[in-house]
Structure 1
Amino acid sequence: MEIEKSLFDNLQEFFGFDTFKGDQEAIITNILNKKDTFVIMPTGGGKSICYQLPALMSEGTAIVISPLIALMKNQVDQLRAFGGNDSIAHFLNSSLNKGEITKVKKDVTEGKTKLLYVAPESLAKEENTLFLRQIKVSFVAVDEAHCISEWGHDFRPEYRKIRQVINGIGDNIPIIALTATATPKVQSDIRKNLQMNNATLFKSSFNRSNLYYEVRPKKNVVKEIVKFIRNNAGKTGIIYCLSRKKVEEIAEVLHINGIKALPYHAGLDAKTRAETQDKFLMEDVEVIVATIAFGMGIDKPDVRYVIHHDIPKSMEGYYQETGRAGRDGGEGICLAFYSEKDIEKLTKFMKDKPVSEREIGTQILKEVIDYSESSVCRRKQILHYFGEQFDETGCNNMCDNCRAPKTYFDAEENLLEVLRFIDKEGEKFDDHHIINVMIGQNNQPVSSYKHDLHPLFGKGKSLGVNYWKSLIRQAELNDFLKKDIDHYGLLTLTEHGRRYIANPYGIRFILNRIMEKADEDGTDEVAQGSGTLDTELLKMLRDLRKKIAKQRSLPPFVIFQDPSLDEMCTHYPVSLDELKQMHGVGAGKALKFGKPFVELIKQYVDDNDIDRPLDLVIKSTANKSALKVSIIQNIDRKIGLEDIASSKGISYEDLLKEVESIVNSGTKLNIGYFVDEMIDSDRQEEVYDYFRTAEVDSIQEALKELGEDDYTYEDIQLMRIKFMSELGN
């Protein structure tokens, strides 16, 4: 009871929250009772409080092992803001100089530091191990614990040595391991390697109820993305692409369209990547266009949307990346663009892998295809992948499929046919084989099992492949069937499926709609507004937050997070005591940052001048393809047009067509440097004089007038481009 009381007091005092989220209270109590603890919790579930709060409450210093320097810095900044002093949290890694390291060790030794963040590489250094032996360690937190496992998506060999180092620091030190990856293989590796087989397991639901999921067909994708970002002006987002080249291209297109965007991928040097992250955290950049390298190392709670320009190669990847949105519990829009061409590319990536790896990779990719093409609740499909059964009514229309009109069909007869086929013929077939039997598609596997002679062969041909794919998918989602991904996607009957064969009943499934063109008028309706009562005050508070953040060299959300500002705009706190009552503020933050905020609110209340801002005007944007962007850049660098054509793998004639298209759309291009090399000044003047007085811009007409012996078609085309650019734009 004593622990419980102090838990809530400390939660309010340090973090400004009145209640715990999910299993947080039980996890924290377990650690305070010195028990090993294993936490599997999705991104945004509130993992960090699970070790931060017990560290603040325990005697000694908690060691937090974290894989990324940027992540450590974010968390240390936040803790210092919450706690009201800079000694409360430190990090020890390769970014510090000797003087800074001495300061950290002094604070730790004097008992001022409650959390010490360490990279696994730094932890293993002998000088650090010797130092840690001399201090009182309350417990060790292993964050991103999936890095231990070679089956995890971010394997780090240094994580394998953590247990050995902990044993060298002291005896019976409790461990809390935390991860957002829930596959049984990874769980087993973590327990084994950290020698924590008796740890209490806390596994949270993977449902992120605040996230909205939508998949659109990949048509006019750049235009769609620009339109979406315009509709969400002032909000921050991440766009994921599969290749570095595409990242650069999209970032450039956004930049040309007046959107503050930067690229982020592993091909950029460390300094540039760090600067890009800082700009995103400080809200100097609205959008990061990134490969999967971005996200792990950043703890930004107010990312409002995640866009997948390319569909990811696994559901784990999709879930991790969409999980960057709405970590503060606020708005989070997850928009993915899907095309069969993307799938073809991903399949090609796997062609050089060993057969078994390729087969499993194909099954994992198939899950992504089924997710993208299905008309069933997206949330239900995601949670099913992670082993959770979910009733789609709980989605609350927070996905495009739940919002769309549905057509149902009676599934009982055909579902029974599929289940009985698997029961009788054996659990050794995938969905592809069963669909081939149903539609009468004979091939080697079908004939080798004599299924071309089966009574069901060809019986469902008139219903089509899409129907049978949807029926089997929904049979799986509703627990009649189970797909064994590790064994090439073979379908097996569940207990529920066997019971259904014995006692069938009427059941309806959703008829799958083939992905159509996105509805131009309705697709962005989810993206409107933040639901805040006073948007003018919110703007003023955000500006103030940004100003203070710059003065203190901190990310804005470290000052106050979006939900805190939203609540200030609802309750108008005009004193520090009132401010402490706001969501996520707490005493430390109120004292450290609160004064200018309450002063601004008080003045605003006195003036009572509440003007609504004008609705956002979405300007039309130039639809510049990635090739056009690259051409513009190369011309700016004064590279010869023939060289540009060669580097892009297109003919000189095709390049001139592209350049003409750019100029005709209103962009000014200075190709004078190239024209001067090709055509002397007198002839240039002659063509200019012709175009100045010509009634049409026809090249054929110009050649007739100027003489086909003196000029080539390309000469006139070049001069027309120069003329249009200089005088028309």
Structure 2
Amino acid sequence: MNQTAPVDTAGSASPEALLARIFGYNAFRGRQREIIETVVDGDNALVLMPTGGGKSLCYQIPALVRSGTGIVISPLIALMRDQVEALKANGVAAAVLNSSLDAQARRQVERDLRDGNLDLLYVAPEGLLREPVLAMLEGCRLALFAIDEAHCVSQWGHDFRPEYLQLGLLRERFPKVPRIALTATADERTRAEISRHLLADGGRTFIDSFDRANLRYRVGLKDNARAQLLRFIQNEHRGHSGIVYCFSRKRTEQIAAFLYQNGLTALPYHAGLSADERQAHQDRFIGEDGVIICATIAFGMGIDKPDVRFVAHLDLPRSIEAYYQETGRAGRDGLPADAWMVYSLADIVQIRQMQANSSAPEAQQRLERERLEALLAYCEHAGCRRPPLLSYFEEDHPGNCGRCDNCLNPPETWDATEAARKALSCVYRTGQRFGAGHVIDVLLGNASDRIASLGHDRLSTFGIGSDLDRKTWQSVLRQLLALGHLQPDPAGHGGLQLSERCRPLLRGEQQVQLRRDTVPVRRTRAAGSRVEIDTNSPAWEALRQWRLETAREQGVPPYVIFHDATLAAILEARPETLDDLARVTGVGQHKLDRYGGDVLNVIAAL
């Protein structure tokens, strides 16, 4: 049975009043107010807003202002469950209607819906599209339809869900109910698909800044990736929750075991695990502090955990869009967080090889190549990380953010035109069928038996690169591959070949500047990377322990009680009365009534 009565909006139904009374915030951010007004007025909206930017308020508050129940369409049961628990903790009457419910619970939710006892109802797209559900909704008063993770409508994306294509019928069945489609990542093509399939009758488009100002972007070269990852976590994020993305299922298990052996709480997550194992690992990640998930891309979409302090990539993601989406799972609470990645020449070859062997239509292959090239350009970029990242989403950034590796430690560049021509010539002279190691041996003039047997010691390119060392040549070949001057052998034998793009460079019509790689060094905690909370403080530990015990008693994740950002604000304010506590950001009326006395007792005992 629904334990929370619908929010009483009588006399205080303005969006600002609800924002303060229910959610504990004093002001809207960015374009939230415009979006809310649009939907409250009954108009459709397409909302593109970064993860952590406050998308959920853009439909939750209109659902509370407008008469009826807001229907939220969400792709994952875990996401629905977490958001409903958070809403209930704020005193909002919310429920889910999905396959996780038994028959009795489902009937109760349906009764609450028909009786008008719900502010918000979360449903999966496949469940919503069942005729009995649609017919039931036609007999109810509905405030709005919110279509979350709307990029799932795109057949060009890795999160494609075919059910989303059918959601256009909402316009036909419920023509007077406004729709709001929301996503944290969508390029121009995906935005067009969202509009065509979900908002064919029009609507306003709101694009907020995609800049996650609290994230520090860091990209480096692999040099014993496991050890690099361990140092990064131990030096900067010990005791913090984080996600490590790996390319393969086997690698997630290996990395999780490695981290566990070194004293960290790490768990694997991939599609090859049983459903029970995946659920158990996900529940621990959400419900405990300091758990690290080592995952493939099967993990993350819809995980509403605000206090993920880092996202690490041990292998290149498939596109800059995937990278942005995955790194966006860090720092959803607005506190500082790290997006950390290492990669190598082998990673570039592997992904380009997969694309070369793709059986997808040519148009899709071309799009995937463009997306990979955008990612590689970002990785090899020598300036501020934000301009190339945000330009992919058609947003300008002036650079000099002061919060990425290149701004904090500017890399050196060099005129590599002559070296690049030597490398390309050597690839050509050796027959365009050998890998980087062999090409470098020829450039360095290493007269091995294999090189002699192939006659490559008699080539004009033999030894012409002896003025540079092996690491520099590895860097040159990696960057030429990233820039598209080289490509992997489509046959999959690991060889390098020239591409059409290299012709101007070989002809002397083009110059090339490359990054000068630096040898990775052991780092201590870098300035500006640490979360602005003294995690060793007894006061911090006391508040977190109270939150954990309270969450366990209620069977909800700790962040449903209060986010880390709210605990930090409480520590800073040191409230002595309930009125003092009510002024802390993130403390709404329902939580003040429910937890205020306990929080004051914890603070008083410090």
Give the alignment's TM-score, normalised by structure 2.
0.80
> What's the counterpart of residue 435 of structure 2?
none
Distance 1:522 1:587, change over 3 A: same
Per-residue CA distance 1:585-606 (angstroms, 9 max, x = gap)? 11111112222111111222xx
Alignment of 1:60-459 (within 5 A): 60-83=68-91, 88-165=93-170, 167-168=172-173, 170-231=174-235, 232-283=237-288, 286-354=291-359, 356=362, 357-393=364-400, 395=401, 397-405=402-410
Q: Is residue 436–residue 442 contact of structure 1 (8 Å, CA) maintained in 2?
A: no
Q: Is residue 288–residue 558 contact of structure 2 (8 Å, CA) maintained in 1?
A: yes
Partner of residue 56 from structure 1, selected from 56, 59, 64:
64
Partner secondary structure for residue 392 of structure 1: coil
> What's the counterpart of residue 685 of structure 1?
none
Shift of 1:65: 0.5
Shift of 1:407: 5.3
Q: Is residue 213–residue 398 contact of structure 1 (8 Å, CA) maintained in 2?
A: yes
Alignment of 1:594-605 (within 5 A): 594-604=596-606
Backbone CA RMSD of aligned residues: 3.3
Amino acid at match of 1:587: Q
Shift of 1:489: 11
Shift of 1:163: 2.3
Shift of 1:516: 1.9
Per-residue CA distance 1:489-523 (angstroms, 9 max, x = gap)? 989xxxxxxxxxxxxxxxxx997432222121357
Amino acid at match of 2:42: K
Aligned length: 527
**Whose helix fraction is larger, Structure 1's or Structure 2's?**
1
Distance 1:441 1:386, change over 3 A: farther
Shift of 1:148: 1.5
Shift of 1:226: 1.7
Distance 2:280 2:141 in 1: 36
Partner of residue 557 from structure 1, selected from 559, 569, 585:
559
Q: Is residue 533–residue 569 contact of structure 1 (8 Å, CA) maintained in 2?
A: no
Shift of 1:30: 0.4
Distance 2:524 2:546 in 1: 35
Distance 1:372 1:105, change over 3 A: same
Distance 2:282 2:544 in 1: 20
Distance 1:601 1:516, change over 3 A: same
Shift of 1:34: 0.3
> What's the counterpart of residue 666 of structure 1?
none
Shift of 1:46: 1.1
Distance 1:197 1:384, change over 3 A: same
> What's the counterpart of residue 582 of structure 1?
584
Partner of residue 28 from structure 2, selected from 20, 23, 40:
20
Distance 2:165 2:375 in 1: 31
Distance 1:376 1:79 in 2: 42
Distance 2:427 2:159 in 1: 42
Distance 1:293 1:303 in 2: 17
**Greater relative contact order structure (CA < 8 Å, 6+ sep):** 2
Distance 1:90 1:529, change over 3 A: closer
Distance 1:533 1:520, change over 3 A: closer
Shift of 1:403: 0.8
Amino acid at match of 2:62: P
Distance 1:344 1:407 in 2: 25
Shift of 1:254: 1.2
Partner secondary structure for residue 605 of structure 2: helix
Alignment of 1:611-622 (within 5 A): none
> What's the counterpart of residue 54 of structure 2?
46
Distance 1:280 1:311 in 2: 23
Distance 1:116 1:489 in 2: 54
Give the alignment's TM-score, normalised by structure 1.
0.67
Amino acid at match of 1:544: W
Distance 1:89 1:282 in 2: 20
Moved more, 337-346 or 225-234: 225-234
Distance 1:489 1:525 in 2: 44
Distance 1:309 1:534, change over 3 A: closer
Distance 1:125 1:163 in 2: 14
Distance 1:102 1:365, change over 3 A: same
Per-residue CA distance 1:30-55 (angstroms, 9 max, x = gap)? 00000011111122211111001111
Unaligned residue ranges in structure 2 (runs of 5+): 1-9, 430-464, 484-498, 503-510
Partner secondary structure for residue 56 of structure 2: helix
Q: Is residue 240–residue 307 contact of structure 1 (8 Å, CA) maintained in 2?
A: yes
> What's the counterpart of residue 537 of structure 1?
539
Distance 1:351 1:513 in 2: 27
Distance 1:589 1:71 in 2: 22
Shift of 1:440: 8.8
Shift of 1:262: 0.7
> What's the counterpart of residue 6 of structure 2?
none
